[in-house]
Amino acid sequence: MSVLDARTELLAAHALGPAEPVTDIGHGKGPRWLDGWLSAHNRELVTWRRTLHAHPELARQERLSTSMVAARLRAAGLKPRVRPDGCGLICDIGSGDHCVALRADLDALPLREETELSFASSVDGVMHACGHDAHTAMLLGAGLALAQAPALPGRVRLIFQPAEEVQPGGALDMVAEGVLEDVERIFALHCDPRLPVGQLGTKVGPITSACDLVEVRLTSPGGHTSRPHLTADLVNALGVLITQLPSLLSRRVDPRSGTVLVWGAVEAGQAANAVPQAGLLRGTLRTGDHRIWTELEPLVRSLVTSLLAPLGVGYVLDHTRGVPPVFNEALSAGLLRDAAVAALGPDGATSTEQSSGGEDFAWYLEDVPGAMGRLGVWSGVGPHRDLHQPTFDLDERALPVGVRVLVHAALASLAA
């Protein structure tokens, strides 16, 4: 038995026992085979999510999660294709010329969980704080349900993607490996702790923002703080960048684009009476406009050069382009909205705003049309536990909702 097989057996043994089924909000809204599959497997959805949650894996390390998903698909008679490094897979269901893709992400975040759940992370410092455990469980459920459909008018491709949380993200790897071959349209869901369970937020056009990383390393000869005129005042230069670069950017790009630079880390010096020789500044630069995103790097370089020129410090600027905005194509967004109504009733679909967060699902949409929807995971009572927080949790009633929406979106897309 391989090490991975042994770990997979260990994971199955730690599947937390049979979880209680959750309320299926869309029950009775069909199709009948989907109602039947969810009635029979509702409990498993919860167990899958909790098992993944208890065993999170960081980006490009998702071998155990991939193995678990592949095992469930193979048990249903399907033929998943695992990536060569064992992280991520694709699996086609059905046959025919038309093909629609559904995507979920596998990776967790480097956070220490503070939820005190019975199935909290067993890996210190790693946590599913963005709902990827739910995304994976819902896509697995949708795929297995679609495999039980009496007939499909084409193929549905399941994409379980690694490394969404890092840059460059796993979506670029998947696209480079040809996962979009023959795909005509692609859909994804993302947990939204601001929406109640039973609602899906949709939007035509950009629904997320581009996100770049900006890092500036400054150097100075250093010296005594009593004689700043004999050296280059590095801390003052950091202050100039911290305060003036975001301000200048706000005057050089259209404010309607939602372009914002926010610093997240600054490092320099130790002694109060010594000018340090090195300093570091890191932040994220976000915009909701695809055209402006393509123009930001040269603009930032020009402004940094101008700001630092009179100060005498040396610098190295690393501008790492991240993801473009997720741009929901109109027909695809409409199909996703109709899927929510079909799955949940007329109150199941709602509008949503563009987020400043980034999502590498955007890379798929550079090649094929598609849409991402925001799936409500708030219980309706108590605080909103936001994404990327150590206390994040979700209402598991959202799991069958997500399965229904993904199934209906795939069917509607193939029919279209």
Please list the rounded mean pLDDT of every run of 10 residues in the chain (416 residues): 45 55 86 95 96 98 98 98 98 96 98 96 97 98 97 96 93 97 98 96 96 96 96 98 97 94 97 97 95 96 98 97 95 97 94 93 97 96 89 96 98 94
Q: Please say whether the beta carbons of 199 and 349 come within 8 A.
A: yes
E strand or H helix at 301, and its extent? helix 290-308
Q: Please say whether the beta carbons of 322 and 251 come within 8 A.
A: no
Residues 319, 383 share a domain: no
Residues 255, 200 share a domain: no
Residues 235, 196 share a domain: no
Instruction: For residues 261 and 273, give the distance between their C-alpha atoms in angstroms, rounded to a whole number.
Output: 31
Residue 3: what pLDDT?
Answer: 38
Q: What is the pTM of this model?
A: 0.90
Q: Which tokens hold the place of 403?
A: 């399965």
Residues 217, 204 share a domain: no
Residue 46: what pLDDT?
Answer: 97
Residue 18: what pLDDT?
Answer: 57
Residue 234's domain is classified under what CATH number?
A: 3.30.70.360
Residues 158, 133 share a domain: yes
Residues 382, 314 share a domain: no
Residues 176, 289 share a domain: no
Residues 163, 111 share a domain: yes
Rg (CA), the chain: 24
Concatenate the DSSP letters of all residues of 175-236 into one string: HHTTTTTT--EEEEEEEEEEEETT-EEE-SEE-S-EEEEEEEEEE---EETT-GGGS--HHH
Residues 167, 67 share a domain: yes
Closest by CA to 186, choosing from 375, 367, 370, 373, is 370
Return the number of other C-beta atoms located less than 10 Å from residue 114's C-beta. Answer: 13
DSSP annotation of 324 reads P
Residues 173, 52 share a domain: yes
The structural domain count of the chain equals 2
Residue 100's domain is classified under what CATH number?
A: 3.40.630.10
Residues 407, 305 share a domain: no
Question: In 55-187, which ranges are continuous DSSP H helix?
Answer: 63-75, 132-146, 170-176
Domain limits for position 276: 212-323
Residues 25, 143 share a domain: yes
Q: Which of 323, 342, 360 is the last residue of a domain?
A: 323
